[in-house]
Amino acid sequence: MLTDETHKGMRIMEVQGAISDGRTHAEIRAALKRLYGVYERDIELIEGYASQFKRYCVTLR
């Protein structure tokens, strides 16, 4: 679920599911694609693959 909350300039997203489940990553990527109108290649997980907190970098074009 995407929220309107931000923390230090970063958007906060709440997702239910196993932390390291591939479906969780796919759900986050799909939400970011819809939100920013970008391609899959424009979204990069830069921190927290197996962590509860993840940080993605989205390249806007």
pLDDT tens per residue across span 14-45: 777 666 667 788 888 998 999 899 999 999 99
Q: State the Cα–Cα distance between residues 4 and 48, nearest whole angstrom.
A: 21
Smallest CA-to-CA distance from 43 within 12, 22, 34, 15 is with 34
Residue 58: beta bridge partners?
43
Mean pLDDT comparison of 6-10, 21-25, 42-46, 48-52, highest-scoring range: 42-46
35-61 mean pLDDT: 89
Query: Residue 20's pLDDT is what?
Result: 63
Checking if the pLDDT of 2 tops 70, the result is no
Query: Residue 37's pLDDT is what?
Result: 94
Q: State the Cα–Cα distance between residues 35 and 43, nearest whole angstrom.
A: 12
Query: Residue 19's pLDDT is what?
Result: 63
CA atoms 31, 33, 34, 36: torsion sign:
positive
